[in-house]
Amino acid sequence: MTEIINVFAGIFIAIGALLSLVTALGILRLPDVYTRNHAASKGSTLGVMSVLLGAFLYFYTLDGDYNSRLILAIVFIFITSPVAGHLISRAAYNTGIPMWEKSVLDELKDKEKHEKDGLKREKQ
Amino acid sequence: MAFQILLNFFLAFLWMFLQNSFKGKDFFIGYILGLLIIFGLRRFFNSRFYLLRAAAVLNLVYIFIKELLLANWAVFKVILKPKLDMKPGIFAMSTTLETKWEVTVLANLITLTPGTFVIDVSSDNKILYIHAMDVPDVEEAIDGIRNSFEKAILEVSK
């Protein structure tokens, strides 16, 4: 039984490391702040979460140490990292960082108009 | 809802006092019995029977985790594709949710959805501005968000 859980811990840690690697590749490859943010806010969240889960399982089987701080860390990361991604991209947009030139649509530039007359596209 | 939970705790303590035995086991039995009483008297409360709402919260957590896994798979595919041929863009979506925590939960859910995240929220909390990895299927994405997330959140708050 402990062997099985150990294997699971190894799998979780390997998946987490792989996801973090892919996130790093994404930050290098993708063209602008916003698309990089896609990679950073999703990939690294799940990557770090599964590494923590693997560590939790490993110490649980190794010496029966139920480390609730790791569980709390998983929950905190799950809650905070999408908010961090949102704030970074919002700050980038408000300081006028341009989107990738192949972007096809930008409805945020009509924000004031939407606030005055409501969203028009929904009615068409 | 909070009132029903508090009442359930009170009934559990009442059971412990009636038994004159103060163990976790007695609290548990009292809690189950109190749950049955509250279920029997549910038409006297203003809100729904609170276990239904707890089930809706669990459903929301399940959706969160499922979307996180799907989102990672989608990002994985975009990053490892040899050609960068996605069409990113920002689209606006109006929401029917009203209170602040509902909009916050919806924004967090959208951020964890495959290929989308929230850039800005209008000052009256009515319009969300969403950056998408692939814009051409905007209407589809909006419909998907409406049908799954908004419904699940409304299920919790009603």
Cβ of A90 within 8 Å of Cβ of B124? The answer is no
Q: At what angle do helices B24-40 and B2-19 cross, to 10 degrees?
A: 130
Query: Is residue A85 within 8 Å of B117, Cβ to Cβ?
Result: yes
Given this model, what pLDDT does residue A81 score?
87
Q: For the residues B55-80, what does the mean pLDDT come to?
A: 85
Q: For the residues B110-120, what does the mean pLDDT come to?
A: 81
Given this model, what pLDDT does residue A111 score?
67
Query: Is residue A105 within 8 Å of B90, Cβ to Cβ?
Result: yes
Which band of pLDDT confidence, cut at 50, 70 and 90, is reported for residue A123?
Answer: very low
Given this model, what pLDDT does residue B89 score?
79
Residues of A in contact with B105 (CB under 8 A): none
Buried b (16+ CB within 10 A) or exposed e, B100-116: eebbebbbbbbbbbbbb
Cα-Cα-Cα-Cα dihedral sign, residues B78, B113, B119, A102 = positive
Q: For the residues A117-123, what does the mean pLDDT come to?
A: 57
Given this model, what pLDDT does residue A14 score?
94
Cβ of B88 within 8 Å of Cβ of A22? The answer is no
Candidates A38, A106, A119; nearest CB to B94: A119
Given this model, what pLDDT does residue B138 score?
63
Cα(A54)–Cα(A40) distance, rounded to whole angstroms? 21
What SS3 class is residue B22? coil
**Alpha helices, H only, chain B:** 2-19, 24-40, 50-80, 100-111, 138-145, 151-157
Tokens 């919790």 appear where? B156
Tokens 């799998």 appear where? A11
Given this model, what pLDDT does residue A124 score?
39
Cα(B26)–Cα(B41) distance, rounded to whole angstroms? 22
For chain B, what is the largest distance between any 2 Cα atoms, rounded to a whole number of angstroms?
72
Which band of pLDDT confidence, cut at 50, 70 and 90, is reported for residue B83?
Answer: confident
This prediction has a pTM of 0.79
> B99, B73, B115, B68: which is closest to A77 by C-alpha?
B68
Given this model, what pLDDT does residue B50 score?
86
CA distance A100 to chain B (A): 8
pLDDT at A122 over 60: no
Q: For the residues B131-136, what does the mean pLDDT come to?
A: 77
Residues of A in contact with B96 (CB under 8 A): none
Residues of B in contact with A85 (CB under 8 A): 111, 117
Residues of B in contact with A45 (CB under 8 A): 68, 112
Condensed to tens digits (0 to 9), the pLDDT of residues A63-117 reads 777 888 889 999 999 888 888 888 988 898 888 877 776 666 676 676 667 666 6
What SS3 class is residue A104? coil
Mean confidence (pLDDT) of chain B: 84
Phi, then psi, of A15 in degrees rounded to 5: -65, -40
Mutate to test the interface with A, among B79, B105, B106, B139 (most CBs of A within 10 A): B79
Chain A residues contacting B via beta carbons under 8 Å? 19, 22, 25-26, 29-32, 34-35, 37-39, 41-43, 45-46, 78-79, 82-83, 85-86, 89-90, 93, 99-100, 102-108, 110-111, 114-115, 118-119, 121-122
- Please state the ipTM of this predicted complex: 0.76
Contacting residues for B48 by C-beta, under 8 A, at least 6 apart: B1, B42, B158
List of domains in chain B: 1-44 (no CATH), 54-157 (3.30.70)
Query: Any long-range contacts for A42-45 (C-beta under 8 Å, 24+ apart)?
Result: A42/B68, A42/B71, A42/B72, A42/B75, A42/B112, A43/A19, A43/B72, A43/B75, A43/B76, A43/B79, A44/A19, A44/A20, A44/A81, A45/A77, A45/A78, A45/A81, A45/A82, A45/B68, A45/B112
Cα-trace Rg, chain B: 22
Residues forming beta bridges with residue B90, ordered by sequence position: A106, B131
Condensed to tens digits (0 to 9), the pLDDT of residues B25-60 reads 999 999 999 999 999 998 888 888 888 888 988 988
Residues of B in contact with A38 (CB under 8 A): 75, 78, 115, 117, 131, 133
For B89, nearest residue in chain A (alpha carbons): A105
Mutate to test the interface with A, among B62, B90, B120, B125 (most CBs of A within 10 A): B90
Cα(B144)–Cα(B106) distance, rounded to whole angstroms? 13
Question: Which sequence spans correspond to the domains of chain A?
Answer: 1-122
Candidates A43, A85, A104; nearest CB to B87: A104
Amino acid at B31: Y
